[in-house]
Chains A and B, each alone.
Chain A
Amino acid sequence: MNWVNDVIQGILLGGYYGIIACGLALMFGVMRIINLAHGDIAVLGAFLMYLLLQHWSVSPFIALLPVLPTMILFGYVLQRLVLQRSLRAGILTPLLATFGLSIVIQNALEQSFGPDVQSLGGQAGSLVTAAWRINSQISISALGGLTFGAAVAVYAALQLYLSRTPSGRQMRASAEDPDTAELVGINSRAVYARATAIAIGIATLGGLALALRSTFSSYSGPDQLIFAFEAVVIGGLGSSLWGALLGGIVLGVAQTIGSQINPEWSVLSGHIVFLLVLISPRGGLLTLRSGRRAPASLPQAGT
């Protein structure tokens, strides 16, 4: 019976990984770049909320209201000023530039907020302690349930945006073939900036989830990036948007079960599952090995 609870807790944890992975998958799907500063950006969002809560004693969810648009704007500007320029220069440059950005954000946070670990759980009131008991062994925490619900909502909203709105259709067109998209009048730079803005907005939600469920520090970013990346790869590397959420759930379950075997093994067992998926012949749960074409970028949702 304990196993059932582990799996349930793992799935709920997977909701958090799904949120963190979503923005990474979106940027990879649209521009084929992996933002190595993705985790640090989520942590930056968490620190901005922490900063607000130092001055106003409100709920962290209220602190999200001004931070979210700020971060979305930051994403837009980041794309326009840095990433767009790096995209033109080949495949290595975005990688090097975002790695540099990751080092800058981590150390700027360390410089401003010091080395202490922080958490926003204390300001969230009863949310972090409330739980829904199913029986003596299985219980679902309110926070875990909320995070998982938020993850499903984020993926559903992104799916709707991509399949139903003109702007989303432009994004899928640019992802599929930017040159042809330009020919029919789509401004791919604007599309890319929108994609990055959305990705960083979702990363900020991930930052809030991280800050509520555990502690974070200025150097927490790389771990979040690695978990997000593992989720994306386990889910089939952008072959489907929902794959990243599924990958997050697999990662969450692997970590929870690993930590039951030995508390130190939590993160390591996630890495091992990731490497096992990699060496498996299909290399990803949802990967469609379709000839030599690179994995399809975004969900082919019914148009």
Chain B
Amino acid sequence: MNEPGTKIQRWTPVSSSFTSGFGLLIVALAFVPVVMGASIVQDLTTLLILVLMAVMWNALAGYGGLVSVGQQAYIGLGAYATVWFALQGVNPYWGMVLATVFCALVSVPLSFIVLRFRGAQFAIGTWVVAEAIGIYVSFDNQLGAGTGTSLSQLDSYASTTREHITYWLTLGMTAFFVLLVFALLRSRLGASLQAIRDDEEAAASVGVSVLGGKRILFILASAGCGAAGAMTVANILFIEPTSIFSVNYSAFMIFMVLVGGLGTFEGPIIGAIILYFIQKQFGNDGTWYLIGLGSSAIVFALLFPRGLWGMLEERTGLRFMPVGYRVKRSASPHEAGP
């Protein structure tokens, strides 16, 4: 690969300044509750949860080629596990961390079932698992059965303290999972994952462990969505099975990732910000709002498969986060993607 006159480059001035900017952004976000009002803190919590969901869905679909319509299984499990741990007397915030670990553990045996599927079959296979878990949870009287339950243990905190801790924990979880994906993509595994996404059989033929790579992504995304679910119950305080296990979460994730840019690192974050403003503008459950989301998913899938960020990247060659490699020729300064 290293022909004379070429050089493999990861970091560019743009990407190194943006990566450090990203670090600074996380630090700055941590200070928001100190300087801003309660409504902004709550709004940002909602936004960060959306970012976490989008990044996790993109890790599965954009890097593993695994389109899941069943990530709401882990959102619901994360939320309900938080309530369950709180019922056992665990501090609810520790319960959220434990719930995240619980989702990762649950996903290990489930991965042996659903990873037998490929493509569209995986999509519905994960959906069936989510439905089955949702029905099962709705039988549990201790967890409020079909009518739902609230995380009343958080009432012992003053509302400002509660909102601040929830915000910081959400920020910490989101930053942790985003950085984990970043680290994963830059590792040796990242290259093999992208090879799997591009062509599974070719990747297997050069010795990439296809199933192993997919399993790691699947467990990562389950833990991340579990964290998102735990943060959701901390943010809205009340959950019921039909809404927390709703397939609409998958619609949101697909919308964010498709509009932002499937398989790009930055795209899902952009998509989450767009969805956040649409939700704020058009409400959360109107039918026209969902018709709009569905139609944009169709339009982006068919006409702009690279999403907004992908198109920008293509036009300008800009890449803020260095997750790929670039070949730099000393003769001509043109840059090429990985």
Residues of A within 8 A of B (CB): 28, 32-34, 36, 82, 85-86, 89, 91-97, 99-104, 106-108, 110-111, 222, 225-226, 229-230, 233, 237, 264, 267-268, 271-272, 274-275, 278-279, 283
Query: What's the minimum C-beta distance from B68 to chain A, rounded to whole angstroms?
Result: 10
Is B132 on the interface with A (CB-CB < 8 A)?
yes
Q: List 11 A-B contacts (CB under 8 A).
A: A33-B120, A34-B123, A36-B120, A92-B67, A92-B262, A99-B250, A100-B295, A100-B297, A102-B294, A226-B131, A271-B131
Q: Contacts A95-B119, A226-B131, A279-B112: A111 and B69 contacting too (C-beta < 8 A)?
A: no
Q: Cβ of B136: which chain A residues have Cβ within 8 Å of it?
A: 268
Q: Are B305 and A101 in contact (CB under 8 A)?
A: no
Which of B65, B116, B294, B297 lies in contact with A92, CB distance below 8 A? B65
Is B81 on the interface with A (CB-CB < 8 A)?
no
Q: Interface digits, B287-310 against A, CB 8 Å rule (1 contact, 0 not)?
A: 110110111111001100100000
Q: Which of B49-106 contact A (CB under 8 A)?
A: 61, 65, 67, 69
Label chain A's interface by main secondary structure: helix
CA distance A34 to B67 in the complex (A): 12
Q: Cβ of A237: which chain B residues have Cβ within 8 Å of it?
A: 121
Q: Cβ of A275: which chain B residues have Cβ within 8 Å of it?
A: 113, 128-129, 132
Residue of A28, A89, A264, A268 most packed against chain B (CB within 10 A): A268
Is B135 on the interface with A (CB-CB < 8 A)?
yes
Is B258 on the interface with A (CB-CB < 8 A)?
yes
Q: Are A89 and B302 in contact (CB under 8 A)?
A: yes
Which of B127, B129, B135, B301 lies in contact with A96, CB distance below 8 A? B301
| Residue of chain B at shortest CB distance from A262 | B139
Is B193 on the interface with A (CB-CB < 8 A)?
no
Q: Cβ of A271: which chain B residues have Cβ within 8 Å of it?
A: 128, 131-132, 135
Q: Are A100 and B131 in contact (CB under 8 A)?
A: no
Is B32 on the interface with A (CB-CB < 8 A)?
no
CA distance A274 to B128 in the complex (A): 9
CA distance A93 to B120 in the complex (A): 10
Q: Interface digits, B113-155 against A, CB 8 Å rule (1 contact, 0 not)?
A: 1001001110111011101100110010000000000000000
Is B247 on the interface with A (CB-CB < 8 A)?
yes
CA distance A111 to B291 in the complex (A): 10
Q: Are A92 and B287 in contact (CB under 8 A)?
A: no
Q: Are A103 and B116 in contact (CB under 8 A)?
A: no
Q: Cβ of A102: which chain B residues have Cβ within 8 Å of it?
A: 294
Q: Cβ of A104: which chain B residues have Cβ within 8 Å of it?
A: 291, 294-295, 298
Is B225 on the interface with A (CB-CB < 8 A)?
no
Q: Cβ of A34: which chain B residues have Cβ within 8 Å of it?
A: 119-121, 123-124
Q: Contacts A96-B258, A279-B113: A267 and B135 contacting too (C-beta < 8 A)?
A: yes
| Residue of chain B at shortest CB distance from A111 | B287
Q: Are A99 and B124 in contact (CB under 8 A)?
A: no
Residue of B67, B139, B262, B298 most packed against chain A (CB within 10 A): B298
